[in-house]
Structure 1
Amino acid sequence: MMINKNIFKTAMVLVTGLLMTATVAAKEMKIGYVDVQAVASQLPQATAMQKTIRSEFGSRMEAVEKLQKDIGFNIEKLRRDGPTMSQQQQDDLKETVNKQRQQYEQLAGPLQEDLRARQTEERNKLLGLIQSAIEEVAARDKYDLILNASAALYAKPEYDITSSVTSVASKK
């Protein structure tokens, strides 16, 4: 029984010592946080990225939108004017709508895939730029740890380096 009490006391002293050491070490660390989404939304490169994507896919997007409007118009026309149309006119309009839907599916699906792939590519470039800026700010200001703002449940505003990262990333 006596040995167990001594082992327990020794273990408690060790655990207490480790906790105190960890607390002291944590206080010596320089920690900051950055709101990556805020940085991305404020960068001029993000605006340029959107313009680039719009210019690359603009004509295809317009064609799909026009086709979508035409389909809507013809469906509304069939609903509105169908009772006064001949059976042949109704059949012709239904056939037109079906052809337009097929064409829409042929254009819209690949467009969405291409657009998604291109946006992912550009987003990854932007995130790489932000990561580089975070690393530069961390090295310059000697931070030991930088967290994403969404990972912190609470942090004092003086640990926020979002504006510094935005400034560095904007110049790249």
Structure 2
Amino acid sequence: MSIYFFGLVAASFFGFSTSPLAQELKIGFVNTDRVFKEAAPAIRSQKKLQDEFAPRDQEIKAVNSEATEVKAKLEKDGLTMAESEKRALESELARLSREIQRLQREFREELNLRKQEELKIILRIANEEIDKIAAEEQYDLILQEAVYRSERLDITDKVIKALEDD
């Protein structure tokens, strides 16, 4: 009986070696940083954001230029101008400084929000392409983060090319 049991265990053990568990996994890796920088949708998105925020950037530069002019006038003529005029220019400079800080803060907040919205769109599109590649080439696992990976596992170029073709 024990020989029969040992034979059954041995047969089942050898049977596992031909099971699907023993088949080699096909693994891929995608460098999402590269996709976010090099893929056509990412480049279009970056251009779109630059165009969208360029007027606000120009507004900040104009206010900054105005503040620079007021500061230069204070430094140049401050010693010779009337005290009331000097206080008025100092108040104007303080107001412009607060305005610049407010504009820059709002600009950064809104730009970051828009970047996150655009990244979500790019990520969704990229994930759809990754799913297509995984299905077509029968990948078992595709990773986005890894401490170490072999270059032969990297499918980033395929993903970037697929995104350009869309």
Partner of 1:168: 162
CA distance in 1, matches of 2:133, 2:27: 12
Q: Which one is further off, 66-75 or 27-36?
A: 66-75
- How much has 1:53 moved relative to structure 2? 1.5
SS class of match (1:146) = strand
What whole-Å deviation, never above 9, does each CA across 1:109-136 have from its counterpart, x for those lacking one? 3333222211111111111111111111
- How much has 1:88 moved relative to structure 2? 2.6
Flag the structure with higher helix content: 1
Q: Which one is further off, 86-95 or 34-43?
A: 86-95
1:147 aligns with 2:143: yes
Find runs of 4+ consecutive structure 1 residues off by over 6 angstroms. none
Q: Percent identity?
A: 27
Contact 2:36 2:119 in 1 (8 A): no
**Which of 49, 61, 69 is residue 57 of structure 2 equivalent to?**
61
Partner of 1:48: 44
Q: Which one is further off, 72-81 or 52-61?
A: 72-81
- How much has 1:83 moved relative to structure 2? 3.0
Give unpaired runs (5+ residues) of structure 1.
1-16
What CA RMSD, in Å, does the superposition of the two structures yield over aligned residues?
2.5
Contact 1:40 1:130 in 2 (8 A): no
- How much has 1:27 moved relative to structure 2? 6.0
Q: Which one is further off, 62-71 or 126-135?
A: 62-71
**Which of 148, 159, 172 is residue 153 of structure 2 equivalent to?**
159
- How much has 1:144 moved relative to structure 2? 0.5
Give unpaired runs (5+ residues) of structure 2.
1-12
Q: TM-score, normalised by structure 2?
A: 0.77
